[in-house]
């Protein structure tokens, strides 16, 4: 029977983390080298964890499926990273960052985790500056800040529109140092395809060398998954095309609980989808909402061009609905408000899937140059993709699946329900609750990797009794066998449909029935359709080529096969949660004026799902208790 | 729209390659170049043939994965973008388009249009970092860095490590890449303590990996998707020269992080 023990230290919120660190057992420097740790993924969480563990003296083996660790998808984050530095003296504090985050997540995360995140946020900036990250600066030489959706202070540090890139390159360079020292063995172009569990503990992974196709087992004393999010299950998303659910999903099948899978953030400001061939949705940084104003025509099916619609006939719908936050309303509210006006037939552009993000006011007040300096690269990108110049006509934007707040369940020490399996960054479910505030994912990835996991994993290694496990162990061989037969099965179907066509179909099903808003009927119909589609996949998919070779289509088909199972778990979770909170909007549960209605009495819990072979997953609940904040109706009006 | 594509096909590093001609039909002008190739591949897979292997990931111009030489130009005809940001409206209907992999001795071909760029990582591992432990860094505002200085460092730091500079260079030199990396850290006070060692070890690693030398023809700058300036190569040369002088004159003297500003 699965037991969810969050292991939160008792006592005052402010000192929980200090006390936990003090009570943790340490591994002495001489003994650290006797321990090996596997880190899967080299994004902000994985690279920062692998490099820090290497610095501490552990032997680290680090894996990524990209050709270089520097290409992990964290590289694409544009906007910024939050930290409660209060350099602006605008009323920010650790307490306020904590409160904004927990409120922004609709009170569906643990107080203790969120407070710790706010606490270490200040250290992250210092560490990043020490690594040489060229943050934006004021003329006087101090660090500059800007603000993001859902908050009223300026606490976001940034590197132009490339913050994720610079933070990742910082973590990557720290990793390079450890590779150079021989503390980290780096294995790029290697994909994790299963987890090896021995005596109930995570002890290794099964991987495929993506160049030679060779399968192998790698064992260690502990395994860290930093494999990112799964919003590519929707087919069209803002994720890189390689981002996938496979590593976390296979760990789920080996016994790790999957928490809150239905919490998928739909980001309000992406470039609208065009035609059927489209492969991805491109995000326009949320920072654009600092200066851009969102509007649609007041009249439905108004086909005039934007400049022909006079001021009086425009509806600045976010400013109208959320006057205090206006265009900086949090992402979930902004996304749904966009959907609502489009559903009323007031959307603009092809198919009516779009609203205007208008820079006319700021262009007039502050001038072309100021706007170019702030957002120039985003305007260029928009021009290239759409062929339209946002300096002269408003941008068109539409929501897109983006960050996933769900993930493998972890306790306060970031350990999953499988001892020895740690999960960090977007791959775990912690910290963001039902909705993530802008500029907080970079913060969490680095907090987990630099400042949290390195402490908690030490305690595990110091206290666990671990037998010797090698690649010839029975469980290693069993893992290898599972992967071998699965790949063989995929290659032998030789059907008529491509993996992409199945991916597109399951993505559409999810978008329609488990997207920006959900209802019982839709979810039930998706739960009927998904197994049928999966069955067809295993009868009719075409995977060309062979296994023991470079075969991108085989890689992709394996990921799609996992999406086809995971989509069902996602819908189960959405169906169970009979309330609206954060990114999860159940149409049956809304107020008269269309705002989400939370049900703290029944749903103030983490929904953690346990895998059962051939049967519906079992739901376990971790109750969320609020000792230090009072869950309130999340009003931004 | 409709295009004729001459695409380099090569089964593996040890096998010969050749151009194969494909037709791309039903292409719309709003399609990206990679979406057009996706379409061609879907057709090939449906016929049971092996799709054309190429690299891509973020499709937002930032991860540095995509690496196609299009009509002889790395990342194609537009300046300042990666292949994934190239749209078919840039080409005229019925055009013939030639697609090749990055070609350089230091980038062996893995398959079709996919090359092995680990040499760039090994150059970074030779010294492209600041050695800093995660415990107790000083407050970020203790180090004042002027806006101008931070902006130039950021210009250099925005290199995405795609290797187009190498592919465009006659000598397959990685000078622009190394210059960007060395300059970024040399411009910041944090990078100063390891400044001398860094430029030397990185340039040695560059030679060891089989990259050629710089011929000052600026082809790299012309194709760089992030428009990294060749002025950073001048800065790299100066850093290297300085390192030689420092090393020979004052071998034992430690460098102070605030000793000089550039």
Q: First CA to last CA across chain A, in angstroms?
A: 44
Q: Which two tokens stand for residue A187?
A: 């294995």
* A530 and A537 Cβ atoms separated by less than 8 Å: no
pLDDT at B259 > cutoff 60: no
| Torsional class of B94: left (φ above 0), alpha (ψ -120 to 50), beta (otherwise) | left
Three-class DSSP category at A273:
coil
Q: Which of residues 339-378 of A touch B (CB under 8 A)?
A: none
pLDDT digits (tens, 9 = 90+) for B84-98: 999 999 999 999 999
* A520 and A339 Cβ atoms separated by less than 8 Å: no
Cβ within 8 Å, pair B46-A384: no
* B257 and B189 Cβ atoms separated by less than 8 Å: yes
Three-class DSSP category at B100:
strand
Q: Chain A partners of B257 at a C-beta cutoff of 8 Å?
A: none
Chain A nearest CA to B187, separation (Å): 9
Note the pLDDT of residue A594: 85
A409/A416 Cα distance (integer angstroms): 6
The 8-class DSSP code of residue A208 comes to E
Note the pLDDT of residue B254: 53
Q: Which of residues 250-269 of A touch B (CB under 8 A)?
A: none
Residue A522 CA to its chain's centroid (Å): 25
Q: Which residues contact B142 (CB under 8 A, 6 or more apart)?
A: none
B43/B46 Cα distance (integer angstroms): 5
pTM of the model: 0.96
A443/B123 Cα distance (integer angstroms): 29
Q: Which two tokens stand for residue A149?
A: 């959706």
CA trace torsion A315, A316, A321, A327 (10° rounding): 160
% of chain B surpassing 90 pLDDT: 92
Note the pLDDT of residue A274: 79
Note the pLDDT of residue B247: 78
Q: Which of residues 203-232 of B touch A (CB under 8 A)?
A: none
pLDDT digits (tens, 9 = 90+) for A4-25: 999 999 999 999 999 999 999 9
- 10 Å Cβ neighbour count for B80? 16
- Measured N-to-C along each axis, helices A111-130 and A94-104 cross at an angle, to the nearest 10 degrees, of 120
Phi first, then psi, for residue A609 (nearest 5°) are -105, 135
A333/A331 Cα distance (integer angstroms): 6
Q: Which residues contact A525 (CB under 8 A, 6 or more apart)?
A: A513
* A371 and A363 Cβ atoms separated by less than 8 Å: yes
pLDDT at B252 > cutoff 60: no
A222-225 and A421-423 strand pairing: parallel
Closest residue on chain B to A71 (Cα): B63
What average pLDDT does the segment B223-238 reach? 98
Cβ within 8 Å, pair B38-A274: no
Phi first, then psi, for residue B73 (nearest 5°) are -120, 125
Q: Chain A partners of B39 at a C-beta cutoff of 8 Å?
A: 277
Q: Which of residues 72-91 of B touch A (CB under 8 A)?
A: 78, 80-81, 85, 87, 89
Helices (H), A182-271: 246-253
Chain B nearest CA to A269, separation (Å): 15
Note the pLDDT of residue B255: 55
What average pLDDT does the segment B191-209 reach? 97
Chain A nearest CA to B109, separation (Å): 11
Cβ within 8 Å, pair A454-B134: yes
The 8-class DSSP code of residue B50 comes to P
* A177 and A186 Cβ atoms separated by less than 8 Å: no
**From residue A42, how far is each of A75, A187, A530 by CA, in Å?**
10, 10, 32
* A541 and A498 Cβ atoms separated by less than 8 Å: yes
Closest residue on chain A to B89 (Cα): A387
Please indicate if any CB of chain B lies within 8 Å of the CB of A302: no
- Going through A124-169 in order, the beta strands assigned E by DSSP cover 156-157
H or E segment and range at residue A314: strand A314-315
What does pLDDT average to over chain B? 94
Whose CA is closest to A95, among A28, A155, A25? A155
Note the pLDDT of residue B250: 60
Closest residue on chain B to A43 (Cα): B63
**From residue B40, how far is each of A153, A354, B5, B22, B26 by CA, in Å?**
49, 29, 10, 8, 10
Q: CA-based Rg of chain A, rounded to a whole angstrom?
A: 24
pLDDT digits (tens, 9 = 90+) for B131-163: 999 998 999 999 999 999 999 999 999 999 999
Please indicate if any CB of chain A lies within 8 Å of the CB of B125: yes
A371/A360 Cα distance (integer angstroms): 10
Cβ within 8 Å, pair B45-A553: yes
Q: What is the mean pLDDT of each run of 10 residues along chain A (637 residues)?
A: 93 97 96 97 98 98 98 94 96 97 96 98 98 96 87 92 96 98 98 98 98 98 98 97 98 98 95 86 86 96 94 96 91 92 94 94 94 86 90 95 98 98 98 95 98 98 96 98 98 97 97 96 98 98 96 98 98 98 96 92 98 95 96 82
Q: Is the ipTM above a cut-off of 0.90?
A: yes
Three-class DSSP category at A426:
helix
- 10 Å Cβ neighbour count for A57? 17
């Amino acid at each position: 029977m699965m037991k969810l023990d969050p292991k939160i230290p008792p006592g005052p919120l402010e000192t929980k983390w200090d006390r936990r660190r003090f009570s943790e057992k340490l591994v002495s420097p001489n003994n650290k080298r006797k321990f090996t740790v596997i880190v899967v993924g080299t994004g902000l969480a994985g690279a920062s964890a692998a490099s820090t563990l290497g610095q501490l003296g552990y032997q680290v083996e680090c894996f990524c499926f990209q050709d270089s660790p520097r290409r992990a998808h964290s590289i694409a984050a544009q906007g910024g990273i939050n930290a409660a530095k209060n350099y602006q003296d605008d009323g920010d504090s650790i307490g306020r960052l904590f409160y904004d985050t927990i409120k922004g997540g609709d009170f569906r995360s643990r107080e203790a985790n969120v407070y710790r995140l706010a606490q270490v946020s200040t250290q992250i900036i210092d560490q990043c500056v020490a690594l040489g990250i060229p943050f934006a600066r004021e003329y006087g030489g101090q660090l500059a800040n800007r603000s993001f959706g859902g908050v009223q202070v300026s606490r976001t540090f940034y590197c132009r529109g490339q913050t994720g890139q610079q933070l990742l390159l910082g973590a990557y360079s720290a990793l390079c140092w450890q590779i150079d020292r021989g503390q980290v063995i780096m294995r790029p172009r290697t994909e994790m395809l299963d987890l090896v569990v021995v005596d109930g503990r995570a002890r290794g992974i099964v991987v495929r060398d993506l160049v030679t196709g060779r399968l192998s087992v790698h064992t260690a004393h502990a395994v860290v998954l930093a494999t990112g999010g799964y919003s590519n299950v929707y087919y069209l998303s803002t994720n890189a095309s390689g981002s996938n659910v496979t590593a976390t999903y296979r760990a789920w099948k080996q016994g790790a609980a999957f928490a809150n899978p239905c919490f998928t953030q739909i980001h309000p400001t992406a470039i609208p989808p065009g035609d059927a061939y489209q492969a991805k949705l491109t995000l326009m940084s949320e920072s654009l909402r600092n200066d851009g104003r969102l509007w649609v025509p007041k009249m439905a099916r108004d086909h005039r061009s934007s400049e022909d619609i006079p001021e009086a006939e425009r509806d600045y719908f976010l400013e109208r609905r959320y006057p205090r936050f206006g265009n900086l309303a949090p992402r979930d509210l902004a996304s749904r408000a966009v959907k609502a006006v489009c559903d009323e037939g007031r959307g603009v552009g092809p198919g009516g899937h779009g609203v205007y993000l208008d820079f006319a006011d700021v262009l007039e007040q502050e001038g072309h140059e100021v706007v170019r300096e702030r957002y120039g690269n985003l305007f260029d990108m928009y021009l290239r993709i759409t062929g339209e110049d946002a300096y002269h006509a408003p941008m068109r934007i539409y929501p897109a699946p983006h960050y996933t707040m769900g993930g493998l369940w972890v306790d306060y020490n970031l350990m999953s329900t499988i001892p020895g399996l740690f999960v960090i960054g977007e791959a775990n479910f912690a910290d963001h609750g039902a909705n993530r505030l802008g500029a907080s994912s970079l913060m969490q990835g680095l907090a987990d990797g630099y400042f949290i996991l390195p402490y908690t994993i030490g305690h595990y290694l110091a206290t666990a009794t671990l037998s010797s496990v090698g690649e010839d162990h029975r469980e290693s061989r069993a893992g290898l066998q599972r992967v071998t037969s699965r790949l063989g099965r995929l290659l032998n179907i030789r059907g008529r449909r491509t993996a992409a066509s199945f991916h597109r179909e399951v993505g559409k099903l999810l978008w329609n029935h488990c997207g920006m808003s959900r209802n019982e009927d839709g979810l039930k119909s998706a739960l009927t359709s998904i197994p049928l589609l999966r069955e067809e996949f295993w009868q009719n998919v075409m995977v060309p080529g062979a296994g023991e070779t470079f075969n991108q289509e085989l890689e992709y088909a394996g990921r799609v096969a996992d999406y086809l199972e995971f989509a069902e778990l996602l819908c189960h979770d959405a169906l169970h949660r009979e309330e609206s909170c954060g990114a999860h909007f159940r149409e049956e549960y809304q107020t008269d004026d269309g705002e989400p209605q939370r049900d703290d009495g029944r749903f103030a819990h983490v929904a953690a799902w346990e895998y059962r072979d051939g049967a519906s997953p079992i739901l376990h609940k971790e109750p969320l208790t609020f000792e230090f904040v009072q869950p309130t109706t999340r009003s931004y009006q | 729209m409709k295009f004729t594509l001459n695409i380099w096909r090569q089964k593996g590093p040890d096998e010969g390659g050749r151009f194969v001609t494909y037709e791309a039909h039903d292409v719309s002008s709003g399609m990206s170049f990679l979406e057009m190739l996706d379409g061609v591949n879907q057709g090939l897979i449906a016929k049971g043939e092996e799709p054309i292997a190429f690299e891509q990931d973020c499709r937002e111009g930032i991860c540095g994965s995509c690496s196609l030489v299009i009509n002889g130009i790395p990342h194609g005809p537009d300046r300042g973008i990666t292949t994934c940001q190239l749209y078919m409206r840039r080409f005229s209907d019925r055009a013939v388009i030639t697609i090749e992999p990055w070609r350089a001795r230091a980038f062996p071909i893995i398959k079709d249009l996919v090359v092995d760029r680990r040499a760039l990582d090994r150059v970074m591992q030779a010294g492209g970092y600041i050695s800093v432990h995660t415990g107790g860094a000083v407050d970020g505002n203790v180090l004042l860095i002027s806006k101008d200085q931070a902006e130039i460092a950021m210009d250099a730091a925005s290199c995405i490590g795609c290797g187009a500079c190498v592919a465009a260079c006659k000598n397959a030199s990685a000078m622009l890449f190394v210059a960007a990396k060395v300059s970024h850290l040399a411009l910041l006070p944090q990078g100063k303590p390891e400044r001398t060692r860094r430029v030397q070890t990185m340039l040695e690693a560059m030679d060891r990996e089989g990259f050629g030398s710089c011929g000052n023809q600026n082809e790299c700058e012309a194709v760089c998707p992030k428009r990294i300036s060749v002025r950073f190569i001048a800065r790299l040369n100066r850093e290297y020269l300085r390192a030689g002088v420092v090393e020979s004159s004052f071998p034992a003297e430690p460098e102070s992080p605030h000793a000089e500003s550039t």
